[in-house]
């Protein structure tokens, strides 16, 4: 079974890590770690699971993930090359009193929250540039870069909170979840019954439903619907296929159901979503 509690290794010269992860080391199971994570996607696209959030990620996206918040990035295609620059740090590196200084109030408030957020607009661009500079920085300038990133994020409104104070983040992850997620990612475009997935989890259907909702904070069928909509979003952005074709290719049997679910999850129509991402 894959390791679900990830250990972030440090060398003797640094108090926090900054590394580039590229296929295959980019791919991770549903996991968590004590460290906060600041991640810049430098190549690839796919699906992000972060707490109770399911959505699509793409190149140039930047996320800030609280410590102990479960998450994983899944590539759009198995053969796709994906990479990211990832900064991992613990709150303890700042000591007991440093963050209580009045000048650092906004950073302290940011680190108290158990959120998963996505950066946007000018904030995303500024933080992306600073993340790329970590590798060439040493000593005090490297720590200064981290503080600058946290100050800019904590004092900005240019981000979306995708996961807000995810419940039970400190609990141990049950490894059965990874088995279920792997099966779901391989088969979500095909019909899946509760009986099938409950058998894979070696549980009765009622036990499985309770187990899944406790761990992912949503029903299994809601989870599948979000995976399908995420797939549709990828096709809307990266292909010229007609939206009706995308509807059926994403595992929906009804245009009305697809349209209703898309608007419910994305707060816009599929056609408007496509226009928004093809303007640039």
For the chain, what percent of residues have pLDDT higher than 90?
A: 74
Question: Is 107:99 a contact under the CB 8 Å cutoff?
Answer: yes
Beta bridge partners of 31: 71
Beta bridge partners of 22: 83
Least confident of 44-48, 156-160, 247-251: 44-48
Residue recorded with tokens 């500024």: 126
Question: Is 173:215 a contact under the CB 8 Å cutoff?
Answer: yes
Reply yes or no on whether the pLDDT at 168 is more than 60: no
Q: Could you tell me the CA-to-CA distances from 250 to 73, 78, 235 in Å, in that order?
A: 19, 17, 9
Beta bridge partners of 85: 20, 40
pLDDT digits (tens, 9 = 90+) for 132-165: 999 889 999 999 999 999 999 999 999 999 988 7
Domains of the chain: 17-163 (2.60.120.280), 176-278 (1.10.10.60)
Strand pairing report for 62-65 and 116-119 = antiparallel
The predicted structure's pLDDT at residue 27: 82
Q: Could you tell me the CA-to-CA distances from 33 to 6, 13, 90, 130 in Å, in that order?
A: 5, 21, 10, 23
Beta bridge partners of 64: 38, 117
């Amino acid at each position: 079974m894959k390791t679900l509690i990830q250990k972030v290794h440090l060398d003797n010269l640094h108090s926090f890590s900054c590394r580039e992860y590229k296929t295959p080391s980019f791919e991770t199971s549903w996991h968590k770690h004590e460290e906060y994570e600041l991640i810049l996607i430098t190549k690839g696209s796919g699906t992000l699971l972060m707490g109770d959030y399911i959505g699509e990620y793409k190149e140039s996206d930047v996320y800030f993930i609280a410590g102990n918040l479960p998450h994983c990035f899944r590539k759009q295609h198995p053969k796709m090359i994906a990479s990211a620059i990832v900064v991992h740090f613990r709150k303890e590196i700042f000591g007991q009193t440093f963050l209580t200084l009045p000048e650092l109030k906004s950073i302290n408030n940011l680190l108290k929250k158990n959120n998963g957020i996505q950066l946007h607009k000018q904030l995303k661009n500024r933080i992306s540039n600073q993340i790329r500079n970590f590798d060439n920085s040493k000593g005090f300038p490297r720590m200064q870069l981290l503080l600058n990133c946290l100050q800019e994020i904590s004092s900005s409104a240019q981000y979306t909170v995708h996961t807000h104070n995810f419940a039970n983040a400190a609990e141990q992850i049950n490894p059965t979840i990874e088995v279920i997620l792997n099966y779901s990612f391989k088969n979500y475009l095909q019909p899946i019954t509760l009986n099938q997935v409950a058998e894979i989890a070696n549980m009765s259907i009622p036990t499985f439903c309770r187990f899944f909702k406790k761990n992912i904070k949503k029903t299994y069928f809601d989870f599948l619907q979000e995976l399908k909509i995420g797939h549709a979003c990828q096709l809307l952005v990266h292909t010229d296929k007609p939206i009706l074709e995308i509807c059926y290719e994403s595992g929906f049997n009804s245009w009305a159901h697809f349209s209703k679910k898309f608007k419910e999850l994305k707060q816009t129509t599929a056609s408007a979503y496509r226009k928004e991402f093809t303007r640039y």
